[in-house]
Amino acid sequence: MTRALVLAGLVSLSGAIPHLGKSMVSPAIAADGPVEAVKVVLAAIEADPAKLDSFCALMTELGKGAFAEGDGRAEQVGALITALGPTFEQGFDYEPASPEGIAFEDGVATLYERCGK
């Protein structure tokens, strides 16, 4: 899966997963600023084998394309995102061209390179 597909899948999630796209500011974002919080949470996902597995499963699901009504994938993807924590969820609220949006997208693409290896 290319970086563009990963990022396109992330962008399309905000409409498919009911709780995404709603402001849920985590304490990490409030305390350290959004760019630093994104870096910290992605590093934590990379360092935790269980969270990295959840992240890679999320990327696999996103690579399967659009959700069909009633197939349960939207719920599964939502659960995977929730398992990655509120700071990761918050990444879906960032404007793609903002510093935090760029940090989120770049970090996700970099982290995706760890999947399947």
**Domain ranges for the chain:** 3-112
DSSP run (H or E) holding 69: none
Q: What is the pTM of this model?
A: 0.71
Task: Name the DSSP letter for residue 18.
Answer: T
Digit-by-digit pLDDT tens for the chain (117 residues) are: 444 444 555 545 544 444 444 434 444 444 458 888 888 999 999 999 999 999 999 999 988 888 888 888 999 999 999 999 988 998 888 999 999 999 999 999 999 999 985
What tokens appear for 51 in the block?
A: 């969270």
**CA–CA dist 21, 14 (Å, integer):** 5
Nearest to 7 by CA among 92, 71, 114, 115: 92
Nearest to 3 by CA among 81, 115, 86: 115
